A and B are shown apart, each in its own frame.
With several copies, the nearest count.
Chain A
Amino acid sequence: MKRTLTIGDETHELEIYRRRGKLTMVWDGEEIPLDLVKVEPTSYSIIMDAHSVGVNIDRVRTMDPDLHGFRASLYDGAYDFTLQDPHKTLLASAMARAKQAGGGLMKALMPGKVLKLFVHEGETVEEGQPILILEAMKMQNEYTAPMNAKVVKIHVEEGMALEISAPMVSLEPLAAE
């Protein structure tokens, strides 16, 4: 599982995985074996590099629900930072680009399976209205209309597996009233 860490002006690319019960943290590409146990409801005992450190985690609300805010208290003080799923970051920025470009063709932003189709050809949709759900990376990704538009053509059907950038739905933007 990957996360982008942001603390102050710094960002780091992190990954954590569990193999045969053992945890490994990857910090900007460097693999670090991690011995971590939850000892109390919000409190962890970590032994990393033989150092034993107790960490208490508070979740901090952020404006963006995809940006997970944390406050970690240690013996040497508190650390405030956020963790974000880099895929979501990627998707969000791709969507923002697609929207700005105003293009009428919705493409799959990552490989996945069409789980649900909410529209049919000829229908008009409002900005933000759900178009389809693409299952990718164990997540249900809901694609919404980037503008008020008419559904001109549907290139997929439910259950279809898509490659990255596969065309999904062609939209024709409606003029603002």
Chain B
Amino acid sequence: MPVTKLLIANRGEVACRILRTCREMEIPTVAVYSDSDRGAMHVRLAVNSYPIGPTPSRESYMRVDKIVDVAKLSGADAVHPGYGFFAEDPEAARKIIDAGLTWIGPSVEVLEKMGDKVVARGIAQRVGVPVLPAVYEVNDDEALVAKAAELGFPLMVKPVLGRDGKGMRMVRTAGELRRALPRVKGEAIFSFWDERVYLEKALVNPHHVEVQIAADAHGNYVYLWERDGSLQRRFQQVAEEAPSPFVTPELRSKLGEAALAIAKEINYVGIGSVEFLLDDDKNFYFLEMTCRLQGGHAVTEWITGEDLVRWQISIARGEKLPLTQEQIPLWGHAFQCRINAEDPDKDFAPSSGTLNYLRTPAGRNIRNDSGVYYGWEMSPYYAPLISKLSAWGPNRELALARMHAALSEYRIGGVRNNVAFHKALTEHKPVLKGEYCTNVFRHAWWKQRGIGPNLKYAVAAALFEELEMEERRAQQPSTDASVEAWKRHNKINRL
């Protein structure tokens, strides 16, 4: 399938990241933008840019029909969905393909199968990959509560057509389950137009590990090692690393082979991630498959030296994988932090506003994938991602030290952000030791206790701003005639 001009049906950091590969491959790019994204970085970096509607993504970035129109208008012959939006929606993929465009992603059939988490479990079981005990035959609340007792608590309630952690909840008692069911179903309908849920046995201290796989149209399959995605909050990853400090070389091959068995069973073509939960004894269980480029792919790119978007494009073109399994490098260690405009001290509430200062880290083996710039207005309509900061080192210790140093350089003005939170993360003992699981954020250990040691410096700068303001004020003449002017400029004391 041709990819001679690529439409990127996304925005922000991932759109910029895809754009950069296209620049290297000399493929012209087409960006799309909603009303509030006219000045966005992805629009500025693209060769062509087209408006696709109002700010809410359901009226712009999610509108496959508009994307197809822009593709026709611009002469693009391929569409990359990025991640999020309609990246894993089989209907969207079908519409793109039916319009005669190359879809950069797995087939409609694969998206349909893996989109249904119950079907996906069945596929894993069919090829002998373990799954956690589950209940999915019934959807009636009371029947589910009754079955839950057989399964045993704690357990997870999940939408059957769920993805990206949306709607998932953990419950510890029948009462919690009863209260959770209507909520999960409600969210499932809102997000996925389907109210079916299922129950799955929850592990106590699980490790979340995902294996990156790639497959071409010629029956070649490889895995590009795993990422550890256990550093998550509410089933959303806040940081990731590769390789996983919990995975031994033997386990690595087992996980890789299990991932490929599933991919082969469904004739997967493209890149994707097979996700597993691991218990403390290193038993692993298939969780689901993410059928797109992942938000954590940078760490895989660091340790392999490969460009996964280039792989996606070359697979879509019908080319063979560039490397065999034996040729895939495992080079050092990489860590990634998701830098968000949010307040870690207030339950990570998103923060919007203008980025009135931005100093991004630089230097050796630092990568900052971003879709923002100095002066950009963070919109409350989209994910509050400022950048994905990743660091590589020849070993885990050096990768972490480099990330820690990079975070010290990162300075963001105008919005609350989680840079200090990530810095605390890279100082957190379990993280330094590589001994953490998905419950790492259960207690808010990162909250600043007391006032930092540099208070005098912090205050000196503010005090200086006050002085400058007073000095400017003092330079103005204080005649009778100026009273009105003072009033106008609010430089008057009202007593």
A91–B493 touching, CB < 8 Å: yes
Judge whether A147 is part of the interface by a CB distance below 8 angstroms.
no
Judge whether B381 is part of the interface by a CB distance below 8 angstroms.
no
Question: In angstroms, how far is the closest chain B Cβ from the Cβ of A113?
Answer: 9
Question: In angstroms, how far is the closest chain B Cβ from the Cβ of A109?
Answer: 7
Question: In angstroms, how far is the closest chain B Cβ from the Cβ of A79?
Answer: 4
Residues on B with beta carbons closer than 8 Å to the beta carbon of A40: 357, 373-375
* Total interface residues in chain B, CB < 8 Å: 59
In the complex, what distance in Å separates the CA atom of A105 from the CA atom of B118?
81
In the complex, what distance in Å separates the CA atom of A55 from the CA atom of B461?
7
Judge whether A57 is part of the interface by a CB distance below 8 angstroms.
yes
* Total interface residues in chain A, CB < 8 Å: 69
Q: A27-B456, A46-B461, A53-B457 are in contact. Are A8 and B451 (CB under 8 A)?
A: yes
Q: Which of B108-116, B224-232, B408-416 lies on the face that meets chain A?
A: B408-416
A79–B495 touching, CB < 8 Å: no
A50–B495 touching, CB < 8 Å: no
Most B CB contacts (10 A, CB to CB) among A17, A42, A144 go to A42
B483–A133 touching, CB < 8 Å: yes
A39–B490 touching, CB < 8 Å: no
B456–A57 touching, CB < 8 Å: no
B48–A140 touching, CB < 8 Å: no
Q: In chain B, what residue has the closest Cβ to A27? A: B456
B491–A140 touching, CB < 8 Å: yes
Q: In chain A, what residue has the closest Cβ to B454? A: A74
Residues on B with beta carbons closer than 8 Å to the beta carbon of A10: 451
- A residues 64-85 touching B (CB-CB < 8 Å): 65-66, 68, 70, 72-79, 81, 83
B467–A42 touching, CB < 8 Å: no
Q: In chain A, what residue has the closest Cβ to B408? A: A75
A72–B462 touching, CB < 8 Å: yes
In the complex, what distance in Å separates the CA atom of A115 from the CA atom of B480?
6
Question: In angstroms, how far is the closest chain B Cβ from the Cβ of A40?
Answer: 5
Q: Which of A29-37, A119-127, A149-157 lies on the face that meets chain B?
A: A29-37
Residues on B with beta carbons closer than 8 Å to the beta carbon of A81: 458-459, 462
B461–A72 touching, CB < 8 Å: yes
Q: In chain A, what residue has the closest Cβ to B75? A: A50
A56–B451 touching, CB < 8 Å: no
A68–B466 touching, CB < 8 Å: yes
In the complex, what distance in Å separates the CA atom of A53 from the CA atom of B49?
9
Q: A57-B465, A140-B492 are in contact. Are A51 and B48 (CB under 8 A)?
A: yes
In the complex, what distance in Å separates the CA atom of A17 from the CA atom of B464?
9
B478–A53 touching, CB < 8 Å: no
Judge whether B460 is part of the interface by a CB distance below 8 angstroms.
yes
A91–B495 touching, CB < 8 Å: yes
Residues on A with beta carbons closer than 8 Å to the beta carbon of B466: 1, 3, 16, 68, 83
Q: A27-B456, A77-B420 are in contact. Are A142 and B462 (CB under 8 A)?
A: no
Q: A54-B411, A142-B495 are in contact. Are A5 and B459 (CB under 8 A)?
A: yes
Most B CB contacts (10 A, CB to CB) among A16, A68, A83 go to A16
Encoded as 1 (CB less than 8 Å from any A CB) or 0, chain B from 358 to 386 comes to 01000000000000011100000000000
Question: In angstroms, how far is the closest chain A Cβ from the Cβ of B200?
Answer: 39
A37–B457 touching, CB < 8 Å: no
In the complex, what distance in Å separates the CA atom of A34 from the CA atom of B465?
13
In the complex, what distance in Å separates the CA atom of A23 from the CA atom of B459?
14
Residues on B with beta carbons closer than 8 Å to the beta carbon of A56: 357, 359, 411, 413
Judge whether A14 is part of the interface by a CB distance below 8 angstroms.
yes
A7–B44 touching, CB < 8 Å: no
Residues on B with beta carbons closer than 8 Å to the beta carbon of A70: 458, 462, 465
- B residues 453-495 touching A (CB-CB < 8 Å): 453-467, 470, 473-474, 478, 480, 483, 486, 490-495
B493–A39 touching, CB < 8 Å: no
Residues on A with beta carbons closer than 8 Å to the beta carbon of B457: 46, 48, 51, 53, 55, 72, 74
Q: In chain B, what residue has the closest Cβ to A7? A: B451
- B residues 38-78 touching A (CB-CB < 8 Å): 38-39, 43-50, 73-74
A141–B493 touching, CB < 8 Å: yes
Residues on A with beta carbons closer than 8 Å to the beta carbon of B450: 8
Interface residues of A (CB under 8 A from B): 1, 3, 5, 7-8, 10, 12, 14, 16-18, 23, 25, 27, 32, 34-37, 39-48, 50-58, 65-66, 68, 70, 72-79, 81, 83, 88, 91-92, 95, 109, 115-116, 133, 135, 138-144, 158
Which 6 pairs, one residue from A and one from B, show the smallest C-beta to C-beta distance?
Answer: A72-B458, A52-B49, A77-B420, A79-B458, A55-B461, A53-B457
New contact pairs (15) apart from A53-B454, A65-B490, A66-B493, CB-CB < 8 Å:
A1-B466, A3-B463, A14-B459, A16-B467, A25-B460, A48-B457, A55-B458, A56-B413, A58-B356, A68-B466, A72-B461, A77-B423, A79-B458, A81-B459, A95-B495
5 sample A-B contacts, Cβ–Cβ < 8 Å, listed by A number: A5-B459, A37-B39, A46-B461, A52-B46, A55-B458
